[in-house]
Chain A
């Protein structure tokens, strides 16, 4: 199966029903995308498929063939994506496990909505759980990332 991940083509030997999450983590070797629930309830596995945020834990690998997959490792080369800069500025992370998914959801939101309201953010990120409760800073950081994107 052919997969394009972060701009690089990969040939992987995966059964077609194997979730993209495990293809990325265990076959491609990109572990920034996290396993949290396996049933699209927590958002830790969020990646972009042709720019759209998807839960990779329930996306069969076959559905990603011929599409462009972006993971947290490919969001920017050096952590300089506006969402990542905002996350650093507001000291968002705690344990950090959910943050790849949070950042990917936030980046996908900002790609289609340059100036989201609180309600837009709550709705777009309601599928991303954080047990450390960094939600307040996530919301503030999405607003900040929107500002940084304009600049």
Chain B
């Protein structure tokens, strides 16, 4: 999503406003909207917070409360955005508090136009706005101090939440009320980067105390008097509908209050989860299975292979690759496969909804507040501004809590509406694994021609797999000429392809009936595996060192080279390893950052063991290096689950996996050592939540090829 042109971003924005049924989503929001009770922003500032705008409140108790427009789902935005404000405010970091912002237009994403968290974009998209908010509050406080003391603002200094001038000194809290009476400055200057004290400093997370004591409130933990819990019987096959149901047994169970039909299935509403789950299991539902009852992964694979040999939509083209292939010294033809995947965040999906005569309150760990608000308004017949969203901590998101259909939130609204009572709708793990919105399966069929030196001279690449965006409200804005950029990102815009005069990328987007969605790193989750596997294949076929081969291909891409060289150097590329071990390298750009990884692997008792992953990341200005290291470690672990274990299969329309015993993810004992090295940079910040994931599967596959001589072209990697 990061490589959209500004034009298409603007289009997205306008359409966002249309979806909103009149809700105005401004392209740029006022950088600082002072608290005026005008309904524009968080009108929650208490008397103790005289200096307040949509993004921060300075309390008379010296506290600085930062309202974050993005959802904390592990990525550390709870810490990075406050750092931006505190930097410009010169706040006392120990007095900084954080809250999720409510859903309101002022919190719309500065680029995507709606309140959301995704695309590894929170830090870079807020880099100006949050600093501006901090600088504005600082200017007001300084102005107040200067007036009180009869000095010039320029003669005041600010440090750690204290303003001083000569013999005068006052804490923020003492000045806050006076500052609130002043008009906000039109324009404030931001610090020069050489004066940064917080930005660039490894800073610990601010949400740790709550998360190590059980106090952190996730959606699952929301509770209030009168709240009931629902568990929903959903179709066994995507697209199936309820033909009839018998709720007699369910209703007879102690604790079950009511059973209601909703568009997604049949909900059992009870006093607590256990009763609701027992009730759901006791339901007898007859389903009309619909058109997808024969879905079968093997048949889909065959269909993808058939499509790959037919002409598709050109996602990239240059020269005449067919002719160039004929002239090539040698050719390589390869198929790469990746399966459907569930996100499987540790917190199963849930949302709590309380509907009143003119209000709808939603508590949810969501990545898409604006869409949830609009959809809830439609279901309840209320105006979007009457729908209040309380964003809780997210027990993992990875994209699953950002559905264009608002699936789990809208379902919870339907349940609460039908039940006529406040209800928390909770998914079981099985519901989550079988509930759809998967990373789509893909086939890449590639023919490459090389010259007599083994360098690529022709590249023909077919990508076959479902579009995430087609059929969603984002389609009109983000799918151009039938090309969903998220299907081919990492291939169509590959720096390798740019250097090959004859290339073509064909895209096929079959509709399978399976709901699909962005999964941490989206298209890059498969394209990096394919591209970096292929480049490695070419290097080995040319009898060249894989790092040297990449250097030659990327000679015009200095940032790629920087990451590549740093990873190779730190991993000791080319130095001897113990017997039975080998290294592999992969490099991929995504979400504005470039990550190179070297994996060190062995095979023990027929099992792939990954011992170490050395990462180099160029993400531009490193706002919080500690957070970047953590996200790279996390991205490696997430990518390794997919590289080594996870897959979803369909037979007779049914998902075969159901829980963590058969939908396998990485466990502690399999976690390699991960070393992260940040390339020093003054470029604008890039993303870090996702870019660590794409390179790890190809780095491991490339290491295995070096070790065993066997090229694995399908995920999860299987030696036999």
**Residues of chain A whose beta carbon lies under 8 Å from any beta carbon of chain B:** 15, 18-19, 22, 25-27, 29-39, 41-42, 44, 71-73, 76, 78-79, 84, 87-88, 91-100, 103, 121-123, 125-126, 128-139
Asked, given contacts A38-B429, A91-B208, A136-B633, whether A98 binds B661 with beta carbons under 8 Å apart, the answer is no
Asked if residues B630 and A91 are in contact (CB atoms below 8 Å), the reply is yes
CA distance in complex: A31, B394 (Å): 15
Asked if residues B346 and A129 are in contact (CB atoms below 8 Å), the reply is yes
Asked, given contacts A98-B346, A122-B668, whether A18 binds B274 with beta carbons under 8 Å apart, the answer is yes
Produce 1/0 per residue, B628-643, CB < 8 A to A: 0010011111101100
Q: What total of A-B pairs shows CB separation below 8 Å?
A: 182
CA distance in complex: A100, B347 (Å): 12
Chain B residues 353-387 with CB under 8 Å of chain A are none
Asked, given contacts A31-B223, A88-B212, A100-B214, whether A122 binds B669 with beta carbons under 8 Å apart, the answer is yes
Asked, given contacts A15-B254, A96-B74, whether A22 binds B272 with beta carbons under 8 Å apart, the answer is yes
Q: Is B204 an interface residue (CB 8 A)?
A: yes
Chain B residues 638-692 with CB under 8 Å of chain A are 638, 640-641, 659-661, 665-669, 671, 673-674
Partner of A26, one of B76, B212, B214, B272: B272
CA distance in complex: A27, B272 (Å): 8
Asked if residues A35 and B344 are in contact (CB atoms below 8 Å), the reply is no
CA distance in complex: A87, B626 (Å): 15
Which of A34, A84, A129, A131 has the most chain B CB atoms closer than 10 A to its own CB?
A: A131
List 18 extra interface pairs beyond A37-B429, A97-B347, CB under 8 A: A22-B274, A31-B220, A31-B223, A34-B346, A36-B429, A39-B661, A44-B346, A92-B212, A93-B205, A95-B394, A96-B393, A98-B395, A122-B668, A129-B660, A134-B630, A135-B667, A135-B668, A139-B668
Asked if residues A95 and B668 are in contact (CB atoms below 8 Å), the reply is no
Asked if residues A72 and B214 are in contact (CB atoms below 8 Å), the reply is yes
Q: Provide the residues of chain B in CB contact with A132, threshold 8 Å.
A: 74, 346, 396, 634, 637-638
The B contact surface, by secondary structure, is loop
Please name the residue on chain B nearest to A119 by beta carbon: B669
The 8 closest A-B pairs by CB, nearest first: A32-B214, A133-B637, A97-B395, A95-B74, A96-B211, A94-B74, A26-B272, A72-B214
Q: Is B221 an interface residue (CB 8 A)?
A: yes
Asked, given contacts A39-B661, A41-B660, whether A136 binds B671 with beta carbons under 8 Å apart, the answer is yes
CA distance in complex: A35, B221 (Å): 10
13 pairs, CB–CB < 8 Å, chain A vs chain B: A26-B272, A36-B347, A38-B428, A38-B430, A72-B213, A92-B212, A93-B207, A95-B397, A126-B668, A129-B667, A133-B637, A133-B671, A139-B671
B349 to chain A, nearest CB (A): 12
Asked if residues B668 and A125 are in contact (CB atoms below 8 Å), the reply is yes
Asked if residues B668 and A96 are in contact (CB atoms below 8 Å), the reply is no
Please name the residue on chain B nearest to A77 by beta carbon: B213
Asked if residues B214 and A91 are in contact (CB atoms below 8 Å), the reply is no
Q: Provide the residues of chain A in CB contact with B398, threshold 8 Å.
A: 131
B643 to chain A, nearest CB (A): 13
Asked if residues B429 and A32 are in contact (CB atoms below 8 Å), the reply is no
B545 to chain A, nearest CB (A): 29
Q: Provide the residues of chain B in CB contact with A73, threshold 8 Å.
A: 213-215
Q: Is B75 an interface residue (CB 8 A)?
A: yes
Asked if residues B214 and A37 are in contact (CB atoms below 8 Å), the reply is no
CA distance in complex: A26, B276 (Å): 12
B393 to chain A, nearest CB (A): 7
Asked if residues A19 and B208 are in contact (CB atoms below 8 Å), the reply is no
CA distance in complex: A99, B637 (Å): 16
CA distance in complex: A17, B397 (Å): 32
Please name the residue on chain A nearest to B214 by beta carbon: A32
Asked, given contacts A42-B660, A84-B213, A91-B630, whether A128 binds B345 with beta carbons under 8 Å apart, the answer is no
CA distance in complex: A77, B570 (Å): 43
Which of B73, B635, B636 has the most chain A CB atoms closer than 10 A to its own CB?
A: B73
Q: Provide the residues of chain B in CB contact with A137, threshold 8 Å.
A: 630, 633
Asked if residues B669 and A130 are in contact (CB atoms below 8 Å), the reply is no
Q: Is B574 an interface residue (CB 8 A)?
A: no
